[in-house]
């Protein structure tokens, strides 16, 4: 029987742990006598035939590194019908029978488009944002938060020395998960997330005043990037409270760095699952984590799901982070 060939790519914003997922796809395929190709620079690489053979050693010494050895891109050309047809031609040329796509919701949509054109794809959630509805967890979330927490802990030192307020913006696009969990982990007085419309008086001023009355003189306000400009929020705080306030945008530093154990292990499990599906010729699936189990669901259905914000965790934060 002819040896099967599958491909793996990373797409969208990179996330720590993507390398562990690539490594798991490659090694699972090889263990099962499946030939495996690495596609460089996301869907762009599929459109342009930017493809390389992978072997056991191509993924050596990668699990501990952030970024992605395959590199990544957001591909406008692949969003066009012509781009997708070109990618299908490349898949045929390389006899690719299935593609593991590691990325965020945009990448999931790309994988679905390729499936519709007859190329089986399995999507693996890889984004620091944790914003994919079908899964409890996305690769990179834990590392990004650990980085954010380390940075805010540093900010706290100087904020406390000066009796100031620090307003810190974390990433997450339209999702407040990074802000919520980072906010809890650093004991932020206020946590602003896009899922809950904030009221300046109720959610910032009153909480700061209460905290001050009980003897605290420095304040951390964690803001998800989807909420608004931290410089403006900081200005408003200083104007209304008279407390010296500084704004900090953590930015892309949150996307880099060595993945945590959690990210390495979950990415490995997800990569294995994706390769197994593809070697069986199964596509249009998304690998997900639910209740701490690695499962897979139909990709088209997964894309229709709406993400639920953890209001319970938010209430906990509001009660104890004061």
- The set of catalytic residues is 129
Nearer residue to ligand F6P within complex by CB, 91 or 151: 151
Length of the chain: 322
- For residue 172, state whether it binds ligand F6P (rule: CB under 6 A): yes
Going by their DSSP bridges, the two strands 293-298 and 285-290 should be labelled as antiparallel
3 state SS of 123: strand
Question: Strand 245-249's sheet: what is its strand order?
Answer: 190-192, 219-224, 165-170, 245-249
Residues 6 or more apart in contact with residue 291 via CB below 8 angstroms: 136
To ligand F6P, the closest distance from the beta carbon of 27 in angstroms equals 27
173 binds ligand F6P (CB under 6 A): yes
Give the CA diameter of the chain.
Answer: 76
Q: Considering the rule CB under 6 A, would residue 103 count as an interface residue with ligand F6P?
A: no
Could you say whether residue 179 binds ligand F6P (CB under 6 A)? Answer: no
Smaller CB separation from ligand F6P, 37 or 178: 178
Which residue from 265, 274, 295, 266 is spatially nearest to 34, judged by alpha carbons?
Answer: 274
CA 187 to CA 220: how far, in whole Å? Answer: 8
Stretch touching ligand F6P by CB under 6 A, among 47-55, 167-175, 195-203, 210-218: 167-175
Taking CB under 6 A as the rule, does residue 127 contact ligand F6P? yes
Task: Pick the closer one to ligand F6P by CB: 127 or 268.
Answer: 127
Distance CA 81, CA 121 (A): 17
* Residue 301 CA: distances (Å) to CA of 133, 134, 284: 10, 9, 10
For the segment 203-232, give every residue that binds ligand F6P (CB under 6 A): 225
Dist CA 116 CA 284 (whole Å): 9
Pairing of strands 245-249, 35-39: unpaired
CB neighbour class for 57 (10 Å; exposed up to 12, middle 13-18, buried from 19): exposed
H/E stretch holding 7 reads strand 5-10
Using rule CB under 6 A, residue 195 touches ligand F6P? no
Q: How many residues bind ligand F6P (CB under 6 A)?
A: 10
Q: Quick one: DSSP state of residue 230?
A: H
Cα 191 to Cα 27, 185, 188, 199, 204: the distances in Å are 41, 11, 7, 12, 9
Residue numbers 2-21 binding ligand F6P by CB under 6 A: 13
From residue 60 to residue 99, the character string flagging contacts with ligand F6P as x (rule: CB under 6 A) and all else as - is ----------------------------------------
d(CA 119, CA 7): 11
183 counts as binding ligand F6P under rule CB under 6 A: no
Binding mask 228-267 for ligand F6P (x = CB under 6 A): ---------------------------x------------
Closer CB to ligand F6P, residue 97 or residue 138?
A: 138
**Among residues 104, 125, 126, 176, which is the contact residue for ligand F6P, using CB under 6 A?**
104
Binding segment for ligand F6P (CB under 6 A), chosen from 38-46, 125-133, 180-188, 292-300, is 125-133
What is the closest distance, in whole angstroms, from the C-beta atom of residue 128 to ligand F6P in the complex? 5
* Cβ at position 143, least distance to ligand F6P in Å: 12
Question: CB-wise, 4 or 255, nearer to ligand F6P?
Answer: 255
Would you count residue 142 as binding ligand F6P (CB under 6 A)?
no
> Which residues sit at the interface with ligand F6P, rule CB under 6 A?
13, 104, 127-129, 171-173, 225, 255
């Amino acid at each position: 029987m002819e040896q099967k060939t599958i491909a793996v790519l990373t797409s969208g914003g990179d996330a720590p742990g993507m390398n562990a997922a690539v490594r798991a796809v490659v090694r699972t395929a090889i263990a099962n006598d499946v030939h495996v190709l690495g596609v460089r620079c996301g869907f762009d690489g599929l459109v342009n035939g930017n493809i390389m053979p992978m072997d056991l050693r191509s993924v050596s010494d990668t699990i501990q590194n952030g970024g992605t050895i395959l590199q990544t891109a957001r591909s406008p050309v692949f969003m066009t019908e012509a781009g997708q047809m070109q990618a299908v031609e490349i898949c045929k040329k390389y006899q690719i029978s299935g593609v593991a796509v590691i990325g965020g919701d945009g990448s999931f949509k790309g994988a679905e488009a390729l499936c519709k054109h007859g190329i089986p794809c399995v999507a693996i959630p890889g984004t620091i944002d944790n914003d994919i509805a079908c899964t409890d967890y996305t690769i990179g979330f834990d590392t990004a938060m650990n980085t954010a927490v380390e940075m805010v802990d540093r900010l706290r030192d100087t904020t406390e020395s000066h009796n100031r307020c620090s307003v810190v913006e974390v990433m997450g696009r339209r999702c407040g998960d990074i802000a919520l969990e980072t906010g809890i982990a650093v004991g932020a007085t206020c946590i602003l997330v896009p899922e809950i419309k904030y009221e300046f008086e109720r959610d910032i001023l009153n909480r700061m005043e209460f905290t001050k009355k009980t003897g605290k003189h420095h304040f951390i306000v964690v803001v998800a990037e989807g909420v608004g400009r931290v410089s403006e929020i900081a200005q408003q705080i200083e104007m209304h409270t008279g407390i010296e306030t500084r704004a900090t945008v953590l930015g892309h530093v949150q996307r880099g760095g060595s993945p945590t154990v959690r990210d390495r292990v979950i990415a490995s499990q997800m990569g294995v699952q994706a390769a197994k599906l593809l070697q069986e010729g199964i596509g249009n699936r998304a690998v997900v984590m639910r209740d701490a189990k690695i499962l897979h669901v139909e990709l088209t259905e997964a894309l229709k799901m709406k993400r639920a914000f953890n209001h319970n965790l938010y209430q906990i934060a509001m009660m104890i982070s004061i």
